[in-house]
């Protein structure tokens, strides 16, 4: 019997493995990543490694056993929980919100499916959510009732943390023994996730990676209140557990494959997570058979660039290895700078406003909390506040003659609309 071996595929796999390690090593050497990364393609692991910023406190260092808060990557479990309840016949995706919360405004228009796929019309965040250190699920729902719809349910897509608070509530009320017991038994136990759980209910955690951020150029630990957050599904996990979940998801063992496929949109299951001190990412592509997961206990990283570069690398598309950045300021006339002054509202969260002012020949941007930042022109339309960061503020002329502002924060573009 003659066996054929695809040497070109093996060569490409080896090439990708080396390129991935080179990429994350460069990112770490620049002090822009600290955490664990796991990448696989066609079921073969290309990278499974810890990266630590050198010369920093031991508390920042992580290893393969480290557990991380995964922030909104927790929504993968919430999504699964809703689909499992639907498979069990305890709810229907077509059920409307007023089935579970009779007095919820417009509850007769918003379906469970709308909530699941961010098409409910509810805003990204609860208004003034920053002022709450702790909220019960019931109180969260009461606050959600006061939110106005951004659009008619089912007609558009807008990422909504509020919608997933409500899905958490629906699981809690529809599962026989409540949310916590349901998630523990249907996901954590059945998928044998040994280092995953709800952080808010954990008494103690071994190998817990405490979160760090950068302030005034220094890497510092985040406050305890930043960890004990009230977000729904405040989970901790590991790259190994998340990868194990991804491998078994479509096996048909714990959920029918047809139902599990509803976790994906156009063959993709993507969920990003972030909060002060933490970044996490889950990417599973059924077509390319790429799975890319990372957990990080350092939040000052170029998130969007990293997630895009890694996929481009694996698909043999152009990407750039991280390198040192040193932006230079230029002089721009006050006449041009005046065009950019005004008030801007974040498209994803209309409660977030930014005011741009001109003072002593420089622009300043002030957020709704009153934090004021001086920004320097790199060109007539692009500005920065830190010369070694990829973050930026870009003004673009609109058809109505005014300028819109796009803020690049940790590599993520945040579009705004001028309101004043």
Looking at residue 10, its pLDDT comes to: 53
Q: What is the DSSP letter of 192?
A: T
Q: Are residues 204 and 281 in the same domain?
A: yes
250: confidence class by pLDDT, cuts 50, 70, 90: very high
Asked if residue 391 is part of any domain, the answer here is: yes
Q: Which of 314, 346, 362 is the last residue of a domain?
A: 314
Q: If you average pLDDT over residues 290-315, what whole number do you get?
A: 95
Q: Are residues 196 and 294 in the same domain?
A: yes
Residue 157 in this model has a pLDDT that exceeds 70:
yes
Q: Are residues 297 and 378 in the same domain?
A: no
Asked if residue 188 is part of any domain, the answer here is: yes
Domain that holds residue 366: 334-418
Looking at residue 7, its pLDDT comes to: 43
Say which residue, 54 or 314, is predicted with more confidence. Answer: 314
Q: If you average pLDDT over residues 345-351, what whole number do you get?
A: 82
For residue 374, the domain's CATH number is: 2.40.128.50
| 58-62, 146-150, 194-198, 257-261: which is most confident | 257-261
Q: Are residues 199 and 280 in the same domain?
A: yes
Asked if residue 298 is part of any domain, the answer here is: yes
Q: Which of 262, 282, 314 is the last residue of a domain?
A: 314
Q: Are residues 349 and 280 in the same domain?
A: no
Q: In what order do the strands lie in the sheet with 197-198?
A: 68-69, 235-237, 197-198
Q: Are residues 78 and 196 in the same domain?
A: yes
Q: Are residues 81 and 206 in the same domain?
A: yes
**Rounded to whole angstroms, how far apart are CA atoms 39 and 45?**
6
Residue 402 in this model has a pLDDT that exceeds 90:
no
Asked if residue 220 is part of any domain, the answer here is: yes
Residue 147 in this model has a pLDDT that exceeds 70:
yes
Q: Are residues 208 and 262 in the same domain?
A: yes
- Determine how many CB atoms are found less than 10 A away from the CB of residue 363: 21
Asked if residue 170 is part of any domain, the answer here is: no
Q: Are residues 359 and 402 in the same domain?
A: yes
Looking at residue 2, its pLDDT comes to: 41
Q: Are residues 201 and 308 in the same domain?
A: yes
Which of 32-46, 87-101, 109-123, 360-374 shows the lowest mean pLDDT across its residues?
360-374
Q: Are residues 209 and 338 in the same domain?
A: no
Looking at residue 139, its pLDDT comes to: 85
For residue 187, the domain's CATH number is: 3.40.710.10
**Rounded to whole angstroms, how far apart are CA atoms 301 and 310?**
14
Q: If you average pLDDT over residues 210-237, what whole number do you get?
A: 80
Asked if residue 239 is part of any domain, the answer here is: yes
The residues that bridge with 145 in the sheet, in sequence order, are: none
Asked if residue 226 is part of any domain, the answer here is: yes
Residue 21 in this model has a pLDDT that exceeds 60:
yes
Asked if residue 167 is part of any domain, the answer here is: no
Mean pLDDT of the chain: 90
Report percent pLDDT > 70 for the chain.
92
Comparing CA positions, the residue from 134, 155, 151, 152 lying closest to residue 143 is 134
Q: Are residues 200 and 80 in the same domain?
A: yes
6: confidence class by pLDDT, cuts 50, 70, 90: very low
Q: Which of 314, 342, 374 is the last residue of a domain?
A: 314
Looking at residue 209, its pLDDT comes to: 95
131: confidence class by pLDDT, cuts 50, 70, 90: low
Helix (H, G, I), strand (E, B) or coil at 290: strand
The residues near 69 (Cβ < 8 Å, ≥ 6 apart) are 199, 211, 227, 234, 235, 236, 275, 277, 278, 280
Q: In what order do the strands lie in the sheet with 290-296?
A: 44-51, 35-41, 290-296, 278-285, 268-275
356: confidence class by pLDDT, cuts 50, 70, 90: very high
Residue 400 in this model has a pLDDT that exceeds 90:
no
Considering its fold, how many domains does the chain have in total? 2
The two tokens of residue 194 are 């040994």
What pTM does this model have? Answer: 0.85
Going through 91-230 in order, the beta strands assigned E by DSSP cover 197-198, 212-215, 218-221
**Rounded to whole angstroms, how far apart are CA atoms 293 and 275?**
17
201: confidence class by pLDDT, cuts 50, 70, 90: low
The residues that bridge with 69 in the sheet, in sequence order, are: 236
Each as own residue / partner, the long-range contacts of residues 282-288 (CB below 8 Å, 24 or more positions apart, any chain) are: 282/73, 282/76, 282/242, 282/246, 283/307, 283/311, 284/246, 284/249, 286/250, 288/41, 288/314, 288/315
């Amino acid at each position: 019997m003659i066996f054929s071996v695809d040497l070109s595929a093996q060569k490409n796999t080896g090439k990708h493995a080396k390129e991935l390690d080179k990429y994350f090593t460069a990112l770490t050497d620049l002090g822009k990543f600290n955490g664990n990364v796991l990448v696989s393609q066609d079921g073969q692991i290309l990278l499974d490694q810890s990266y630590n910023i050198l010369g920093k406190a031991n508390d920042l260092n992580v290893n393969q056993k480290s557990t991380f808060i995964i922030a909104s990557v927790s929504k993968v479990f919430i999504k699964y929980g809703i689909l499992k309840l639907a498979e069990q016949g305890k709810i229907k995706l077509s059920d409307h919100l007023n089935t579970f919360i009779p007095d919820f405004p417009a509850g007769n228009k918003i379906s469970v499916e709308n909530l699941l796929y961010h098409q409910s019309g509810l805003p990204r965040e609860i208004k003034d959510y920053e002022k709450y250190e702790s909220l019960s699920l019931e109180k969260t729902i009461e606050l959600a009732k006061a939110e106005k719809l951004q659009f008619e349910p089912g007609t558009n897509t807008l990422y909504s943390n509020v919608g997933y608070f409500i899905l958490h509530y629906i699981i809690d009320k529809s599962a026989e023994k409540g949310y916590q017991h349901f998630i523990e038994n249907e996901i954590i136990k059945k998928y044998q996730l040994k280092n995953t759980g709800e952080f808010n209910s954990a008494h103690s955690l071994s190998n817990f990676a405490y979160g760090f951020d950068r302030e005034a150029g220094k890497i510092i630990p985040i406050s305890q209140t930043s960890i004990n957050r009230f977000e729904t599904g405040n989970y901790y996990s590991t790259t190994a557990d998340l990868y194990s979940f991804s491998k078994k998801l479509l096996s048909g063992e714990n959920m029918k494959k047809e139902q599990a496929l509803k976790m994906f949109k156009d063959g993709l299951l993507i969920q990003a997570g972030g909060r002060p001190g933490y970044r996490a990412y889950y990417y599973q592509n059924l077509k390319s058979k790429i799975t890319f997961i990372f957990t990080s206990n350092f939040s000052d990283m170029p998130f969007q660039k990293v997630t895009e570069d890694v996929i481009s690398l694996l698909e043999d598309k152009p990407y750039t290895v991280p390198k040192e950045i040193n932006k230079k300021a230029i002089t721009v006339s006050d006449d041009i700078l005046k065009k950019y002054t005004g008030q801007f509202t974040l498209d994803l969260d209309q409660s977030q406003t930014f005011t741009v002012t001109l003072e002593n020949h420089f622009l300043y941007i002030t957020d709704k909390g009153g934090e004021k930042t001086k920004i320097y022109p790199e060109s007539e339309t692009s500005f920065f506040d830190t010369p070694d960061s990829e973050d930026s503020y870009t003004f673009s002329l609109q058809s109505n003659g005014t300028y819109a502002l796009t803020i690049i924060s940790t590599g993520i573009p945040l579009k705004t609309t001028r309101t004043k």
